[in-house]
Amino acid sequence: MTDKPQQPQTQFVRSDGAAVPDVHRFSHQAMATTFEVLVQYEDRLYAQQAAEAAFEEVDRIEGALSRYLETSDVTQINHLPAQTPLHVTLDTFECLRISAQIHAQTHGAFDITVGFLIDCWRDKDKKPRTPSAEELQFAREHTGTDLIVFDEPTCAVALLASPMRIDLGGVGKGYAVDRMAEMLREWSVDRALIHGGFSSVLALDAPAEMEGWPVTLSYPKDRSRTLARVQLVRASVSGSGVEKGRHIIDPRTGRPVAGKLAAWSLASDAASTDALSTAFMVMTPDEAGEYCREYPSVRGLLITQRADAADETEQIVPVGKWKAGELAI
C-alpha cells in the first residue's frame, strides 16, 4: 500500500454536474483537498445550510483522524506505549474498525500501519532508497493492523507493539464522505452527490427523472480519455494512483511492488471504496478478481503496467460484475 498522494488536480473520478438540472454546488477545503456537494433541491439557501452542516462534519472528523495534528486521536495512538488503552472518539474508533475489516478481507493488502515501511524505502526527499536489513525488520515488526486491539464497549484501542505509524489517509476521506451523506439525509436532502477531491465519490438518490448521477472514470494521464461511465445511485466509487518514480509498498511482504498505474473500486459506501482502491493498487488482478467474487457487490478497474517493458505497456483490467455499456475500453 502506498501513502495516497494528495493531489486534487489528479481526478480519478469525474461527474458532469452540468448534465443534471437544478443543481446547487458547494465546496469546502479540508484534508488537503476540496470536498464538494452537488445538491438537487428547490431551495438553494436551505441546500447551502445543509451542505455547510456536512462540511462541519468533515472538519470535526479531520480533527480526530489527521496525523498532522498534535491533538488528534491518531497522533496520540502513534505515541501510545504498548498495552496501554486509549479512549478515542466514536469516529476514530469506527474508522479504525472499518480499516481492520478491510485489512482482514484483503488478507493484509490494505494496512493503515504501513508508515514505517514507507519510510524505509524513501529518503527525506521522498526519493527511493534501499533500507538495511535491520531497519526493514524493525518496520515489519511494527506494521500490521492486527497489532491494534479494540474494546468496543469503552471505545478504546491499544497496541501490541509500539511505536506504530498509523495513517488513515487511505480511508479517512471516504469515511468523511459517508458521514457527510448522513448529515445531508438528516436535513432531508436526498438527491445529492458528494466527493472528496474526486478520489472518493458517493451518490445518494438519483436526480429527478434521471437514472443516476453521471460519473466517469478517467485515464490518469489523459483526463479526456474515459474508461467507464456509471450512473451512480446510493453507491460510491474511489480511485487511487501512484506518481511516476514512487514506490507502492506491499504490507504483506514489506517490499515495493511494481506494475500498477491506477485502480478504482465501486461499492455501497465511500469508506470501503477508498480503502479498496488502495488495496487494489497492491493486489494482483487475480487477487482483486477473487475479492470481487467473494464480495459480489464490489467491482474494480485496474491499470497494470509491465515493469520490464521498455515502452511501459499498459493493460486495463476490469474485475467484478460490470453492467453492459458501462465500460468504455
pLDDT at residue 1 greater than cutoff 50: no
**Residue 59 to residue 307: CA distance in whole angstroms:** 40
What distance in Å separates the CA atoms of residue 41 and residue 32, rounded to the nearest whole number? 28
Cis check: omega of the bond before 8, within 30 degrees of 0: no
- Torsion, Cα 50 51 52 57, to 10 degrees, reads 100
pLDDT at 136 over 80: yes
User: pLDDT by residue (tens digit) across 158-186?
Assistant: 999 999 999 999 999 999 999 999 999 99
Q: Is the pLDDT of residue 44 over 70?
A: yes
- pTM tops 0.95, yes or no: no
CA 16 to chain centre: 21
The C-alpha R_g of the chain, in whole angstroms, comes to: 20
Alpha-carbon distance 66 to 79, whole Å? Answer: 14
Q: How high is the pLDDT of residue 223?
A: 84
Q: Which residue has the higher pLDDT, 268 or 22?
A: 268
